[in-house]
Amino acid sequence: MESRKRSAEESNESSEASKKSKETRILHNTLAAYGSRQGERADMQDTHILVPKFYLGDDTSFFKPIWKDGTTATTMVILNNVIYVANIGDSKAVVARKKEDGSFAPVCLTADHNPMAHDERMRIQKTGAVVKDGRINGVIEVSRSIGDLPFKSSGIVSTPDLKKLTLTENDL
């Protein structure tokens, strides 16, 4: 009887711990910001989506925007003290790391997908497309994007770069 009672108590404790771990909770509270640069165009075409707090169990962070053309993107998930980043195109993510002298240095978490980069250019040229003045076939300035279906035959791919960074106490 004693062992059954102990077993039931252990089961209840385990069940309560399991319930606590499944509760909605904030994964990480961090400072987040975004910026944009207009470039040579007369008007800004970019859209920014920033979700500063991600809650487990809350599906209202997830929606499906309808993109008319193509886009670049950077997605970041922070679990405990590790940042996982996926980027495509020329969107960027940077962590500010405090140096010994108190100033900050950038730690870039993304790679620019530029058609002038050697590997990107070689992949694009294998399709028969031309890279000139930083543009593919004189039109598009990124070598990877989501959407842009008319350019997929010109070597534009939708494969992101993935990076992982373990945060330290000096990271902002």
Per-residue pLDDT of the chain (172 residues; tens, 9 = 90+): 554 444 455 555 555 555 544 454 444 455 566 666 556 666 656 666 666 565 555 454 744 555 457 888 899 888 888 999 999 998 889 999 999 999 999 999 999 999 999 999 999 999 999 999 999 999 999 999 988 888 889 999 999 999 999 999 888 7
Q: What is the pLDDT of residue 36?
A: 60
Domain ranges of the chain: 26-36+44-166
Q: What CA–CA distance (Å, rounded) separates 143 from 115?
A: 5
pLDDT of residue 6: 47
Question: Residue 25: its pLDDT value, please?
Answer: 47
Kindly give, in sequence order, each residue whose CB lies less than 8 Å from that of residue 46, ignoring residues fewer than 6 positions away: 36
The CATH code belonging to domain 26-36+44-166 is 3.60.40.10
pLDDT at 91: 87
Residue 121, CA distances (Å) to 92, 114, 160 in order: 20, 8, 16
Q: What is the pLDDT of residue 27?
A: 45
